[in-house]
């Protein structure tokens, strides 16, 4: 499951719920008019009336802004009738000028909001390519996912994951592209799409890694050769054969997975390094696959470096291994919910990098109820 948030169009033309903030231009108008009528003329509160349409431009559409400016103008004319020496002409001219400027400012603001909304829709669609909906259970294997964006408004990044149930077993991919934004998402999409095909075709993880390397290299060929060393990805490939009791791991420069076995934690460091994606031409394409025992009840955690690089107020990194070792036996969803909660608490609610994680468990045979329905795959926010 991914912590999700769905975009909705901004309500326009005043049809949204009325709040004190949205009514503040009206409140300001009433306050200024009341003070102008009840205080001595020397205080000249009426000269503040142009502030009302100026404030309205920051939150209202064009027509309501113009209507409020018109109301302010008539109020000023009424004040001029009651107090002939109030300097009505100058203030009225100021109201007209500010209202025209406010209407234009409101129009520009709405256009920018619409453009931003469309960009965010595109970003959501692009993120769905990388983080597609994923079932929670493949046979006896439970899998849950977590994605957290570093910024509240961010919905797109270079972290990616995918799971496929193949004839060779359940295969998982998690990785992180160097950089952020659309270029990183393009690289992530190329890698994920390649995995979705190769996972069913290649008999071993090394073959999948070579396919991912080829796709990443082809995608990067469109960019300047000088940027090659800046366009790479780390990744972990995991294969859990059906009814085998083992899992196989190929680590391409990614943070090592963690395995919790009845309270004992193992950091699954690779026995030999494998090249990062898009760097095999520089350092060779020698891939190393490790085989690890995987028993019912074991919890496997795959994650991106945003987890271990989350900092507290003193600059200390999140102690993931220590945290994982202290977790009680449970389901993958419970583990990721706890990780989500403790990461936000540790960092004070602010994350410096996007975070993706997969939690995997081999279920006890005939000991637990069926898992829940498939989970969604939208981008989330911290």
Kindly tell me if the per-residue pLDDT of 151 is higher than 90.
no
Q: CA 335, 338, 339, 345: dihedral to nearest 10 degrees?
A: -170
Pairwise pLDDT comparison (149 vs 51), residue with the higher score: 51
Assign domain 135-362 to its CATH architecture: 4-Layer Sandwich (3.60)
Is the separation of the CB atoms in 320 and 265 below 8 Å? no
CA atoms of 97 and 75, how far apart (whole Å): 16
Q: For the segment 339-372, what is each residue's pLDDT rounded down to a tens digit?
A: 999 998 998 877 777 888 999 998 876 545 544 4
User: Taking the domains of the chain in order of start, what are their residue ranges?
Assistant: 22-121, 135-362
- Amino acid 232: pLDDT: 84
Q: For the segment 239-288, what is each residue's pLDDT rounded down to a tens digit?
A: 999 877 899 999 999 999 999 988 899 999 999 989 999 888 777 789 99
Pairwise pLDDT comparison (366 vs 139), residue with the higher score: 139
- Paired sense of beta strands 258-261 and 264-267, if any: antiparallel
Kindly tell me if the per-residue pLDDT of 178 is higher than 90.
no
Q: For the segment 5-36, what is each residue's pLDDT rounded down to a tens digit?
A: 333 344 444 455 667 788 999 999 999 989 98
Kindly tell me if the per-residue pLDDT of 297 is higher than 60.
yes
Give the C-alpha distances (Å, rounded to integers) separating 325 from 30, 217, 245, 294, 321: 62, 38, 22, 17, 6
Is the separation of the CB atoms in 318 and 290 below 8 Å? no
CA atoms of 365 and 367, how far apart (whole Å): 5
* Averaged pLDDT, 370-382: 46
Pairwise pLDDT comparison (158 vs 171), residue with the higher score: 171
- Confidence class for position 63, pLDDT limits 50, 70, 90: very high
Q: For the segment 185-238, what is each residue's pLDDT rounded down to a tens digit?
A: 778 888 999 999 999 999 999 999 999 999 988 887 776 665 554 578 999 999
- Amino acid 216: pLDDT: 87
Residue length of the chain:
382
Integer-rounded Cα radius of gyration of the chain: 29
* pTM for this predicted structure: 0.69
Is the separation of the CB atoms in 56 and 101 below 8 Å? no
β-sheet bridge partners, residue 360: 143, 300
- Confidence class for position 156, pLDDT limits 50, 70, 90: low
Is the separation of the CB atoms in 183 and 205 below 8 Å? no
């Amino acid at each position: 499951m991914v912590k999700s948030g769905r975009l909705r169009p901004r309500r326009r033309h005043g049809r949204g719920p009325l709040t004190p903030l949205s009514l503040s231009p009206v409140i300001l108008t009433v306050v200024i008019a009341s003070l102008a009528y009840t205080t001595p003329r020397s205080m000249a509160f009426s000269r503040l009336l142009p502030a009302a349409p100026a404030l309205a431009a920051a939150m209202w559409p064009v027509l309501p802004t113009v209507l409020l400016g018109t109301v302010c103008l008539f109020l000023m004319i009424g004040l001029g009738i009651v107090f002939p020496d109030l300097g009505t002409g100058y203030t009225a001219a100021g109201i007209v000028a500010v209202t025209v400027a406010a209407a234009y400012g409101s129009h520009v603001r709405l256009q920018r909001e619409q453009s931003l909304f469309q960009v965010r829709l595109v970003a959501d669609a692009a993120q769905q390519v990388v983080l597609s909906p994923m079932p929670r259970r493949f046979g006896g294997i439970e899998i849950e996912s977590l994605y957290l964006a570093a910024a509240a408004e961010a919905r797109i990044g270079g972290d990616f994951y995918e799971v496929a149930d193949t004839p060779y077993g359940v295969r998982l991919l998690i990785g992180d592209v160097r950089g952020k934004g659309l270029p990183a998402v393009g690289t992530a999409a190329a890698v994920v799409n390649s995995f979705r095909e190769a996972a069913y075709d290649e008999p071993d993880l090394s073959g999948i890694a070579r396919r991912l390397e080829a796709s990443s290299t082809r995608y990067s060929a469109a960019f300047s050769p000088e940027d090659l060393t800046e366009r790479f990805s780390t990744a972990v490939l995991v294969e859990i054969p059906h009814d085998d009791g083992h899992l196989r791991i190929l680590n391409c420069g990614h943070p090592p997975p963690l395995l919790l076995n009845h309270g004992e934690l193992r950091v699954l460091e690779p026995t030999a390094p494998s090249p990062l994606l898009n760097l095999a031409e520089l350092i060779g394409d020698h891939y190393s696959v490790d085989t690890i025992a995987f028993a019912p009840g074991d919890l496997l955690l795959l994650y991106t470096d945003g987890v271990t690089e989350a900092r507290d107020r003193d600059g200390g990194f999140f102690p993931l291994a220590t945290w994982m070792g202290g977790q009680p036996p449970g389901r993958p969803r419970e583990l990721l919910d706890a990780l989500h909660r403790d990461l936000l608490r540790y960092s004070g609610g602010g994350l410096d990098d996007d975070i993706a994680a997969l939690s995997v468990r081999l279920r006890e045979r005939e000991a637990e109820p069926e898992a829940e329905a498939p989970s969604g795959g939208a981008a989330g926010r911290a």
